[in-house]
Amino acid sequence: MFDFLVFSLTVAGIYALMALGLNLQAGYAGLMNFGHIAFAGLGAYATGIAFTLGWAPLAGAALGVLAAMALGWCIGRIGNKLASDYWGIATLAIAEILRTIAINEDWLTGGSNGISAIPSLFDGLGRPWSGLAFLGLVMLAVAVCALLCRRLGDGRFGRALRLMREEPQLAACMGYDLRSLKSRTLMAGAAITALGGSLYAHYMSFVSPDYMFPAETFLLWTMVMIGGVGSTAGVLVGVALVQAANVLAPFAREVLGFGSDVAGALRLGLIGLILLACLLWRSEGLVPEKLRKMP
């Protein structure tokens, strides 16, 4: 039970990192990124590939962050002249192309088997402590990133992003370079998300194309939308709620005696239902963003 709790909290922490990355883009800047999981996938794969090359874990994480930032820059350039819904579909397509490459290029990614036996970071500490140490590391990363996001959101950069989201033409008139704003937001979000992906690969000691299913992006969207788009505290609340639903689904399966198909369906359906209910009745989320209104 204790191990299970530590496991759930660690995974929740990793999801929190990815959701914070998405919130920078979708919350502050209003970018409809439906391929967000590609950044996490790049982080995870970079860690796996760095391990097969015999690099240090830190080098793997750095490689992942850099690759994700490069991808974020490219996506930002595509977004230059697209309407937001077209751009959302384009990001989805990019994530799917990356997943197809991960499945097919066996020599680099291990194909559909993925890369396994990636060492966890604290294996030397023994059974309960290694898990706890990892949890501590993840929580530290979440705290640092949450504070960073908050500072970024409340500062000049965040204000510019909100202005771009609400009144793009006004922002352009005031001399903001919208293209560079978008690119920089995407790169910042991508960096945090890739860090999460890299930690996930170490924690699961395994990386496979399954990490990049579009459903994972939608899970992150659910977390962000439930908690409150554009609010750091809201994102953390959303992550906690969705992760609780995730953790409880296997229990429901044991108690009610479902098959694994029904249990999987229950998990997906529950997330969809929460997301839909949230959009219909509380579209600003549980912890709404505080906007300063000019009189």
Q: Which residues bind another protein (CB under 8 A)?
A: 30, 32, 34, 78, 81-90, 92-94, 96-97, 100-101, 103-104, 214-215, 218, 221-222, 225, 259, 261-262, 264-273, 275-276, 279-280, 283
Alpha-carbon span 250 to 266, nearest angstrom: 10
Of 198, 209, 24, 222, residue with least CA distance to 105: 209
Minimum distance between the CB of residue 265 and another protein, rounded to whole angstroms?
4
Minimum distance between the CB of residue 44 and another protein, rounded to whole angstroms?
20
What phi, psi does 289 have (nearest 5°)? -70, 140
Alpha-carbon span 178 to 236, nearest angstrom: 28
Cα Rg of the chain, angstroms = 19
Give the nearer residue to another protein in terms of CB position, either 152 or 262: 262
Minimum distance between the CB of residue 275 and another protein, rounded to whole angstroms?
4
Residue 50 and residue 65 in contact, taking contact as beta carbons nearer than 8 Å: no
Minimum distance between the CB of residue 181 and another protein, rounded to whole angstroms?
18
Give the nearer residue to another protein in terms of CB position, either 63 or 186: 186
Helix locations, the chain, DSSP H: 2-22, 37-52, 57-78, 84-104, 106-109, 127-154, 156-166, 168-173, 178-204, 214-227, 232-256, 260-281
Residue 203 and residue 81 in contact, taking contact as beta carbons nearer than 8 Å: no
Minimum distance between the CB of residue 237 and another protein, rounded to whole angstroms?
18
- CB-based burial label for 36 (10 Å; 0-12, 13-18, 19+): buried
Minimum distance between the CB of residue 224 and another protein, rounded to whole angstroms?
10
Give the nearer residue to another protein in terms of CB position, either 155 or 272: 272
Give the nearer residue to another protein in terms of CB position, either 170 or 276: 276
Instruction: Give the pair of three-digit tokens for residue 24.
Output: 């920078």
Give the nearer residue to another protein in terms of CB position, either 1 or 280: 280
Give the nearer residue to another protein in terms of CB position, either 188 or 225: 225
Minimum distance between the CB of residue 30 and another protein, rounded to whole angstroms?
7
- Return the ∠ at Cα 166 (arms to 164 and 167), rounded to 5°: 65
Which residues, 6+ apart, have CB-to-CB distance to 24 below 8 Å?
Answer: 149, 152, 153, 185, 188, 189, 192
Give the nearer residue to another protein in terms of CB position, either 251 or 260: 260
